[in-house]
Structure formats: C-alpha cells, structure tokens
C-alpha cells in the first residue's frame, strides 16, 4: 500500500511539473522574472 502511495505521489508530481512546463511555454511573460533560461543578470 505504501508503494502505491509513493507511485501516486510521483505520478502527481510529474503531472504537475508537465502542466507547469506547458503553462510556461504558453505564458512565458508570467515566469520571466525568475527565468532559469539565462535571464537578465
């Protein structure tokens, strides 16, 4: 049962990360201030 919970947590985390990535690509200006893609110095 613990294994199932860990697997679900991992799946949820990667799903959330994927959604965030899609949102960043759709609305880059929202995220530009803390951009990790070589933003302003």
In a domain, 9, yes or no: yes
Q: What is the pLDDT of residue 2?
A: 86
Range of the domain at 14: 1-30
In a domain, 18, yes or no: yes
Radius of gyration of the chain (CA): 15
Residues 6+ apart with CB under 8 A from 24: 30, 31
* Whole-angstrom distance, CA of residue 13 vs CA of residue 39: 26
Q: pTM here? A: 0.58
In a domain, 37, yes or no: no
In a domain, 38, yes or no: no
Q: What is the pLDDT of residue 32?
A: 73
**Burial letters 15-41, b for 16+ CB under 10 A, else e:** eeeeeeeeeeeeeeeeeeeeeeeeeee
- Give the total number of structural domains in the chain: 1
pLDDT per position as a tens digit, 1-41: 889 999 999 999 999 999 999 999 999 888 776 556 565 55
């Amino acid at each position: 049962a613990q294994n199932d919970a860990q697997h679900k947590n991992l799946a949820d985390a990667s799903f959330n990360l994927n959604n965030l990535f899609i949102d960043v690509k759709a609305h880059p200006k929202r995220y530009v201030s803390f951009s990790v893609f070589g933003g302003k110095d």
